Structure 1
Amino acid sequence: MKTRQTSLKVALAALCLFVGGARAELVIIGHHGGPDTITPQQVKDIYLNRSSRLPDGQRVVAFQLPAGNSMRDEFNERITERNDAWLKSFWSRQVLTGKGHPPREVSSANSMKSVVSSTLGSIGYLDSTLVDDSVKVLLTPQP
């Protein structure tokens, strides 16, 4: 049994090294008709209802992945600097007081890419390994 566990650990370590080149990295994406770049603070302001415009002045449509998605958790931690529970409470208060609505939720990374590519003024986030020519990378946040 110990030999099998050791073999599994070695195989897992080798796999981690092999896959290391395709490491997931959070990127902020937008529609091709939008701005070329955005700052982390501008993204934070959009996702915390402090701004309704992109840097080029377009009205923004923000999208988010579903709760429990690891890329959403990373986005919340690195960009909004808030956890999902805090954000849920925040958006409940915003809706209740008529001050705004949360970013529109999409079901998957593929849905995120599809809706951002087809919605002028949109912004979202993805794992960098999933980005293709259908969307524009606006920001690669520093860890």
Structure 2
Amino acid sequence: MIITHATVKETSLSRQSLLAVFGMHTQRWRDGQRIKVFVLASDQPLHRKFATEVLGTYPYQLDRIWQRLVYSGTGRAPHICTSEDDMRMKVRNTPGAIGYVGSVMEEDTHVITVE
């Protein structure tokens, strides 16, 4: 499930749009608010599932995209969370944030659907 901070107005995104967000190509929401991307480490099962099933790519491909942005000086890698609970807390407390969780909990107030 894709979760965002309560200030994010989007309710759904296409897979292509999600890939652009998590690939760090789209940097602002439609309202101009800066996007802050949170992910789990590439070796985490939920990250692998998210990358393959939701984004339609492999974790190593995302890693390459992020490394290229960092090493070329043209962008930043996403913030890496230590656990799902850590991701929930950071997304909940960071305006413009987006992340993903295995299942939605009551405090995950803003969920994005995938078109």
Matched, 1:90 2:65: yes
Verify: 1:52 aligned to 2:10, yes or no. Answer: no
- 1:79 deviates by 3.3
User: TM-score, normalized by length of structure 1?
Assistant: 0.71
Q: What is aligned with 1:132? A: 106
Tell me the equivalent position of 1:68.
43
Contact kept, 8 Å, 1:54 with 1:60, in 2: the verdict is yes
The answer (yes or no) to whether the contact 2:24–2:78 under 8 Å persists in 1 is no
Q: In 2, Cα distance between the equivalents of 1:92 and 1:36? A: 28
Q: Write the distance in 2 (CA, Å) between the matches of 1:56 and 1:76.
A: 26
Q: CA deviation at 1:76?
A: 0.8
Is 1:111 equivalent to 2:93 in the alignment? Answer: no
State the match for 1:101 in structure 2.
Answer: 76
Matched, 1:39 2:39: no
**Relative contact order, CA 8 A, sep 6+: which one is greater?**
2
Q: CA deviation at 1:61?
A: 0.2
Relative to its length, the structure with more helix (as a share) is: 1
Deviation at 1:135, TM superposition (A): 3.5
Q: Tell me the percent identity.
A: 26
1:106 Cα shift? 0.3
Is the contact made by 1:30 and 1:122 (CA closer than 8 Å) also made in structure 2?
yes
- Using the TM superposition, give the Cα deviation of residue 89 of structure 1 relative to its aligned residue in structure 2, in angstroms: 2.0
Quote how far apart the aligned CAs of 1:134 are.
Answer: 4.4
Q: Give every structure 1 segment of 4 or more consecutive aligned residues whose post-TM-superposition deviation is greater than 4 Å.
A: none
State the aligned residue count. 114
Bigger CA radius of gyration = 1
Q: Deviations over 1:60-111 (max 9, x none)?
A: 0000012221211111113332212222222211111111111110000000
Cα RMSD after superposing both structures: 1.7
For 1:111 and 1:135, the matched residues in 2 are separated by 16
Structure 2 stretches lacking a partner, 5+ long: none
Task: Could you tell me which runs of 5 or more consecutive residues in structure 1 were left unpaired when the two chains were aligned.
Answer: 1-26
Query: Which residue identity lines up with residue 51 of structure 1 in the other structure?
Result: T
Q: TM-score, normalised by structure 2?
A: 0.87
